[in-house]
Structure 1
Amino acid sequence: MMKKWVEGPWPYRIFALFLAILLFGYVNIDKINTTRQTDNNTTQMLATRSETVKVPLQINADTDQYFITGYPQKVKVKLSGPNALVTSAVNTLNFRIIGDLTKLSTGTHTVKLKQTGINKEISVKIEPATIKVKIEKKVTKNFPIQVNVNEENLATDYSIGNPKLSQDVVEVSGAKSAVNAVSQVIATVDPAKDTKKDISEEVLLQAVDSAGKALNVLISPQTVNVKIAVTMNKKALPVSLEKTGAVSGYQYTLTTDTQNVTVYGKQQTLAKLSSLPVTVDLSDVTSSTTKTVKISLPDGVYDSSPTSIKVKVAVTSDGNEASSQSSTATTSASTSTASSQSESTSSSSTDQSSSSADSSASTSQSTTTE
């Protein structure tokens, strides 16, 4: 019986049916998948979804005339509705949350927020639903910029020059009470640790009151470029010329065309210096000349500019020596005059003696004749 069934047509019929089913499934598999996907998409579109996003708050007001404070920059919006519509709204954010202040004047007001641009089929919940704002008259003033530099971050024995700004004055606008409270507009520069190089950076400005508290005002522009030269501590000192090794018998007058010398070093050392001594060695100078003298640096001073100066040395003979020579000459002349007078007196005495002798002889002869 079994043998007849196996050898009969039924096995072939069953195999052919199986092949037919496989062929049918292969041909219609794409349609089946498409139908399933369509069903899934339809299910997703019909399903509801809730999503919360943060969006900017738009304030409608006359900002040229009024300054508004107290409102948040962003608010939370909860969207609930058909999945496709919510997904589209979340992805595009093509809607706005608005606080309308156009009909309000100065003072404090509570304003209800509204939305626009969201599909009506979506349920919207805004958090917060209302905001409390303060509307004040807007004023504008100009303020100079003050630069504060954290000099503790400079390298040891380095200091800064005068800051140079892209602009020196900025415009500050805001509520009248806030602008009137502005004491200064500050650009704070915080250089890197152990800075030795010049500083050049874009700095955010801040308006503060007399206590240093930041104020809620608008600054235009908000940033400025600050450039500051960083150099080793320096100080310009007047030159003080000092003599050493002067040769006896000469007088010296020292002058120089270099009136000041810039020295570099420790801040504490420079603060104590009021002049820079420059010692000129005169041990080999007996006539007027010009000497190049190297500058000797005090302790705590690392360098100078220039490192040497030219000193003019005017030389004259000592006046005491000339006076001594004149006295010696006068003494010699006096001695010579005295000798001449003595010789003259002696000669006169001799002549007088001779005359007396001749007179005596004449008298004697006269007596004899008588």
Structure 2
Amino acid sequence: MMKKFVEGPWLYRILALFLALLLFGYVNLDEINTTRQTNNNDTQMLATRTETVKVPLQINADTDRYFITGYPQKVKVKLSGPNALVTSAVNTLNFRVIGDLTKLGPGDHTVKLKQTGINKDIKVTIEPKEIKVHIEHKVTKQFPVQVNVKKENLAAGYSLGNPKLSQDVVEVSGAKSAVNAVSQVVATVDPDEGTKKDINEEVLLQAVDRNGKALNVLISPQTVNVKILVQMSKKTLPISLEKTGEKSGYSYSLSSTTDSVTVYGRQTALAKLTSLPVSVDLSSITSSTSKMVKVALPHNIYESTPSAIKVTITVTPDTTNTSATNTVEAPSESTAQTSSSAPVESSSSNSQSSSQSSSSESSKANTDVNQ
């Protein structure tokens, strides 16, 4: 019986029916989900949505003649309406908020803001609803650019060369009262602490009054390129040769072909120097010679060029001391000669006397013989 059922057509008929039911259920379930999702989307599209966005404020005015101040750059816009329309408006921001000043002249004014480009089915609320503006005649003047560098950030002993600018003069435009109050246009350079490298920066310009307060004006161009050479502070000083350790009995004269040196160091230390002493030690010198002498550096002076100079030393015996010695010895030699010649003269006199006596005795003897 079971074999007949398996081999018969009923098994295949039942399987076919089961597969047909399964396929029917799958198809209908997909349609149900699709219908439900479509209904949800339709519900969302028809739902009300509220969004607040910030948009730029467009000012319509004769900006060639007038300079306007007092208005905000952006305003808040609250949008309420169908979800799809609000979403589109928020994503595209294809609407504008306008302050119309075209019919206004110089002075203070209150202007109501308007919007354009928003679908009429969306409720729009602008905040603020109106703005206050100040209108003045517009003027333009030229000013040189002043460079202000924070020197305290430089490394110790370093100073700045002359700034080189991409543009030395700029135009300042704005309300007549503001432009007339401009004292200078400044490019402020703020180097890193301990800077030793040259400065090469694009710097934003700022117009300030005599008290250093920034003014609301337009500067063209707004930035300039600033290049400044950073180097050690330096000063060229004459040298003065100073003798130390002179030996007695000698006279010294100093000279050098180098008459000045360049020293590098802190600006405050350099400002105090008018010359640079170079000390020459003569304690071991008794004859004319030349020697290299190192340049001693004062406090807060770090280098010198050259670092040593050649000094010619001329040595001569001190003649004043030698003459004094000879004057003392001369009387002693004269006295010695006088003392030794006295006995010689005495001996000669005695010899002469003795000869005369002998001659007298001989003459007397001859007389006696003749008698």
* Both structures adopt the same fold (TM-score exceeding 0.5): yes
> Paired residue for 2:347?
none
- Whole-Å Cα distance in 2 between the matches of residues 44 and 247 of structure 1? 114
Deviation readout 1:253-291 (Å, 9 max, x if unpaired): 7353x554221234443232111123456886977x986
Alignment of structure 1 residues 8-87 onto 2, 5 Å: 21-87=21-87
- Report the AA paired with residue 55 of structure 1: V
- Report the AA paired with residue 55 of structure 2: V
The percent identity for this pair of structures is 75
Contact 2:166–2:225 (8 Å) recurs in 1: yes
Question: What's the offset of the Cα at 1:293?
Answer: 4.4
- Whole-Å Cα distance in 1 between the matches of residues 254 and 103 of structure 2? 88
> Paired residue for 1:168?
168
- Whole-Å Cα distance in 2 between the matches of residues 311 and 179 of structure 1? 63
Question: What's the offset of the Cα at 1:250?
Answer: 7.4
State the secondary structure of the residue aligned to 1:110: strand
> Paired residue for 1:232?
232
For this pair of structures, how many residues does the alignment match?
309
Deviation readout 1:161-208 (Å, 9 max, x if unpaired): 333322222211100000100111122222222333333222221111
> Paired residue for 1:360?
none
- Whole-Å Cα distance in 2 between the matches of residues 177 and 260 of structure 1? 55
Question: What's the offset of the Cα at 1:218?
Answer: 0.8
Question: What's the offset of the Cα at 1:14?
Answer: 11
Give the stretch that moved more between structures: 203-212 or 260-269: 260-269
> Paired residue for 1:111?
111
TM normalised by structure 1 equals: 0.72
- Whole-Å Cα distance in 2 between the matches of residues 15 and 128 of structure 1? 74
Alignment of structure 1 residues 1-370 onto 2, 5 Å: 21-242=21-242, 252=253, 254=255, 256=257, 258-279=258-279, 293-310=293-310
- Whole-Å Cα distance in 1 between the matches of residues 84 and 21 of structure 2? 38
- Report the AA paired with residue 254 of structure 1: S
Question: What's the offset of the Cα at 1:36?
Answer: 1.8
Deviation readout 1:26-79 (Å, 9 max, x if unpaired): 123332222222212221221111111000111111212111100100000111
Question: What's the offset of the Cα at 1:84?
Answer: 0.7
Contact 1:158–1:232 (8 Å) recurs in 2: yes
Contact 2:144–2:184 (8 Å) recurs in 1: yes
When the two chains are superposed, the root-mean-square deviation of aligned CA atoms in Å is 3.3
- Report the AA paired with residue 82 of structure 2: P
State the secondary structure of the residue aligned to 2:104: coil
Contact 2:95–2:116 (8 Å) recurs in 1: yes
TM normalised by structure 2 equals: 0.72
Structure 1 gap segments, 5+ residues each: 1-12, 325-370
Structure 2 gap segments, 5+ residues each: 1-12, 324-371
Q: 1:172 to 1:128 in 2, by over 3 A?
A: same
Q: 1:316 to 1:157 in 2, by over 3 A?
A: closer
